[in-house]
Chain A
Amino acid sequence: MDHEHCHLLLNSLSDYVEGDLSEELCAEIDRHLQDCENCRIVIDTLRKTVYLYHETVEPPITPPDVKERLFARLELNEFLNSNS
């Protein structure tokens, strides 16, 4: 992780992964990745990290007792079950 290109990659990593980079810079990084195994692993595991977090997002559910107390706190109990 010490050549100049590795630093370039680190600085632009997020944009590269998001596909946000200029074509020119992107091509330069692609070239670098072809002969830098370490950077390739970093990119792959970074992508996998983001993928895993996206895939394991829990559904947005409020536990029923928490929801009940929320509606009570706002004095909106009368509407609690009318919406769901």
Chain B
Amino acid sequence: MNKEKARVEDFSLEKLRAGDRAEFALLMDVYSGVVYRLGIKMLDDPQDAEDILQETFIKAYRYLGDFDGRSSLSTWLYRIATNEALMLIRKRKNTPLSIDEQLDQDLEIEKPFQIVDWCCLPEKEMMSAEARRYMHQAVEQLSPNLRAVFVLRDIEGLSTEETSRALNLSESAVKTRLSRARMRLRELLTAYFSERMAAQGVAEAGDD
């Protein structure tokens, strides 16, 4: 993912601002992959991800003149894409989770509930197709605000500073939300992997 990040800063801002279509096409070529991936992680729906992808580049094309260059071009694109994703989530949302509940999830320090050491599971088991699907679904269970921070930091590999610029949040808020998100995911993964461990234990006992 760092390769794309490095490459995007090679674009000529001058050309882009002047409306150079070939240069913009190159920007899309390099950056469509990460924007699409962000959409999939944020909304878990290929059609929504495609909408986010198109809207992001339409807005980027329209507002390039306003881009002040204070953040990097890639952070700016991430900012547009994440805003699009959060707006679409708000539009799509028919989940029963109330605003208060969501605030609780964002602000409260979640006490670890499940204490099971599943670190000893074989790596093959932890990275199986089924485990990956479960991990993906776990991200979808985060509140949109936590999900946005987690996706930018731990999936897209942005720094705390870049994430704070992309989301217009303080760096300390980014850290707090990342911590909540990771703890929540730890909890969800523990539920899943401790079951896998139990299943494996049963299988091993059966082998004797």
Is B truly associated with A? yes
On whether A60 and B34 interact (CB within 8 A), knowing A13-B179, A83-B29, the answer reads yes
Of B85-93, B96-104, B113-121, the stretch lying at the interface with chain A is B113-121
Q: How far is the CB of B54 from chain A (nearest CB, A)?
A: 5
Cβ contacts under 8 Å, A52 to chain B: 126-127, 131, 135, 189
Report, as a range, how many residues of chain B touch the other chain.
Answer: 35 or more
Contact partner of B132 (CB less than 8 A), chosen from A13, A45, A56, is A56
A41 on the interface (CB 8 Å rule)?
yes
Measured in the bound complex, the distance between the Cα atoms of B132 and A44 in whole Å is 19
Number of A-B contacts (CB under 8 A): 120
Contact B54 A69 (CB under 8 A): yes
B13 on the interface (CB 8 Å rule)?
no
Main secondary structure of the interface of A (DSSP, over half): helix
B196 on the interface (CB 8 Å rule)?
no
On whether A44 and B126 interact (CB within 8 A), knowing A52-B189, A66-B53, A79-B21, the answer reads no
- A→B interface (CB under 8 Å): 1, 10-11, 13-15, 17, 38, 41-42, 44-46, 48-50, 52-63, 66-67, 69-71, 73-74, 76, 79-80, 82-84
* A-B contact sample (15 more), CB < 8 A, given A52-B189, A74-B25: A1-B115, A14-B176, A17-B182, A41-B117, A45-B190, A49-B186, A52-B126, A53-B185, A61-B37, A63-B46, A67-B32, A70-B28, A70-B53, A73-B58, A79-B26
